[in-house]
Structures are given as structure tokens and as C-alpha cells.
Amino acid sequence: MSRIHDALKRAEQERATSMGGQLEPALEQPELQPVGMPEHAHMQTAVMPPIQGSSFSYESLLARCPVSNWNPDTRTMLFFQEDENRKGAEEFRTLRSRLYQIREKLPLKRLMVTSALPKEGKSFVAANLAQVMVRQHGRRVLVIDADLRSPGMHRHLGASQTPGLSEYLMGECDEFAIMQRGPMDNLFFVPAGRQATGAPELLANGRLKLFLQRVEPLFDWIILDTPPVIPVADSTLLANFCEGVLMVVRSNSTPSDLARRAREEFQDKLLLGVVLNGIPADQLPKSRYYYGEAVSSPA
């Protein structure tokens, strides 16, 4: 599927170069190369009053969030079963390793996963990346379905869609109410909630920033599954809340001009690399640094 190793290595090199660091050369990826460091824009929007609640700690989160009765889709979720050698699992471990290598040199906790178009597999990648992260002992991960227009992460995980992020952004509930704890230790999930109009305004009203500030100390990784870049503006807005972006592109599907256009939306953000999804099994390279998954994974 994608040259995860090469794309992330290239991103690491370019970002370190911009900060005066020295890294070994990476292979060229001319069409979808990573871009430079983000310079987060300041959003001039009105901030709704925060919900007043009890102190937010990991212990209080465990007490208020009982384990949810999820029913994961085992066709696409690779790590809920005991099989350590499922197709695609090792490639997600490689992706995990590369992200940790980047984080040794640069701040990286809030990670955004997006795509150029719908149905490219971004939710598939975000959900499995969250799972492989918590397979390491003691790691805590929060995965957020931030696609308020067409949410789908809850279907992969077999979790409830509501209450979720949209209800929190509208001031209807607090953080505890929207966070689910799955059957996998230390994996937490915020669904998108009910579909709402005015998604960009909700995302920019200040409450998402508040939420991330409150929960960030509790987790090792926060992964946001966001809308596709080309149809709507939500992802470029959400990138302001993240320290890195992974772009998912579907093999033999995404037009190269649209993939380039999507990349250009993140010129002032850190595009870590590109994951090429849906490559046919008989076309997978034998190198473990490539990622390919034969299942049909919805966006």
C-alpha cells in the first residue's frame, strides 16, 4: 500500500532540517512529499462557556467510564483478536515505531488522520493505529471521531454513536459523558455524536480546544479521525489542534491531482506521510515497510 517508512522518514528529515537537525537522506516521494512545520492559526471565534464539572483525572475517568459493550468489526479491526499475525498487523507496528522515532526528536501527541476524498480508509487506519498503540504496556490512547458530517468510526468499533463530540460542542454534556472505554485496556473513544449542521462553526467555537487541553495530560496519544480534505474545510481547521497529519490515499482510486491538492491544504502544517490503502494482495511488495490491506475498508 504505502511507503510508510520512506514517507515518514522523509517527513522527519525535512522537519528536522527546518529546525537545524541532521538526519540521513530518505528516498524521494515527488508527488506526495511531506511539508514543513505547522504554524497554528489563531481562530477569531466566540468561545462558549465551559461546562463546570468535577476535576478531570485518569482515576475519575475510570470511575465515570465503565467498560462499554463494543462489538468490533473483526474484518477490519486487526487487534481485538489474539492472532498476532493477521495481514496488515505488522505494518501497523512499523507505523507505530516510525511515529515514536519522530516523537523522540519533536513534539507529537495529537495526531490527525485524514484523506483527500471519502471512502479511502482513514477511519480504518485511525482505529487500527489506536489499537496497536495500546498494545504496548501502559500506553493510553484516545481516538476521536471528528467527522461530524459523516461519522463512521463507531461502526468499526461496534460502539454507540451518541452522545459524542457534537453534543459536547453544543454544550449539552461534559467530557465524561462522551468518552467510552473499550474492551481493550487503555483504549478510549469519543464518537462523533449525532450529525449536526454548521460543523465548522462548532469545531471552532472553543470547546474542542478546551476538551483537548483537559484530556491531553491523561493520554500518550490522541488520534483524530477527520473529514476528507477536498469536499469540506473541516480538516484544515482541525489540523490547527494537532501536531502532525497522516494522509490516507486509496490505491488505484484517488486521482493524483486531488491527492496533490489535498497535500497543498497542509502547506503550513506537518504532513508526516502518506498511507496507501487498499492495495490488492497480489500486488503487495514483500518488504515489511509497505502497508497493504485487502479488505474493503470504509472511510
Average pLDDT over residues 194-223: 95
Select 1-14+67-75+85-202+218-253+261-277+287-293's CATH number: 3.20.20.150, 3.40.640.10, 3.40.50.300, 3.10.20.740: 3.40.50.300
pLDDT for 241-297, tens place per residue? 999 999 999 887 788 888 888 888 887 778 998 898 876 666 655 544 333 333 334
Task: Label residue 198 by pLDDT band (50, 70, 90).
Answer: very high
Per residue in 138-166, pLDDT (tens digit) is 999 999 999 999 999 999 999 999 999 99
Name which residue leads in pLDDT, 89 or 83: 89
Tell me if 65 sits within 8 A of 176, measured CB to CB.
yes
Instruction: Using alpha carbons, select from 298, 8, 7, 5 the residue that is nearest to residue 155.
Output: 298
- pLDDT > 70 in the chain, percent: 74
pLDDT in tens, 42-86: 333 344 444 445 567 899 999 999 899 999 999 999 999 877 778
Whole-angstrom distance, CA of residue 249 vs CA of residue 1: 9
Confidence label for 21 from pLDDT (cuts 50, 70 and 90): very low
Nearest 5°: phi and psi at 189? -140, 135
Following DSSP, what letter does each residue of 274-292 receive, concatenated?
EEEE---GGG--SSTTEE-
Report domain extents, the chain: 1-14+67-75+85-202+218-253+261-277+287-293
Pairwise CA distance, residues 135 & 112, whole Å: 20
Q: Identify whether the C-beta of residue 291 lies closer than 8 Å to the C-beta of residue 275.
A: yes
CA distances from 114 to 45, 140, 271, 282, 288 (A): 24, 22, 10, 26, 23
Q: Look at phi and psi of residue 131 and say left if phi exceeds 0, alpha if psi is from -120 to 50, else beta.
A: alpha
Q: Which residues contact 138 (CB under 8 A, 6 or more apart)?
A: 186
Query: C-alpha 138: how far from its chain's center?
Result: 20
Cα distance between residue 247 and residue 244, in whole Å: 10
Distance CA 255, CA 257 (A): 6
3-state secondary structure of 37: coil
CB count within 10 Å of CB 161 equals 17
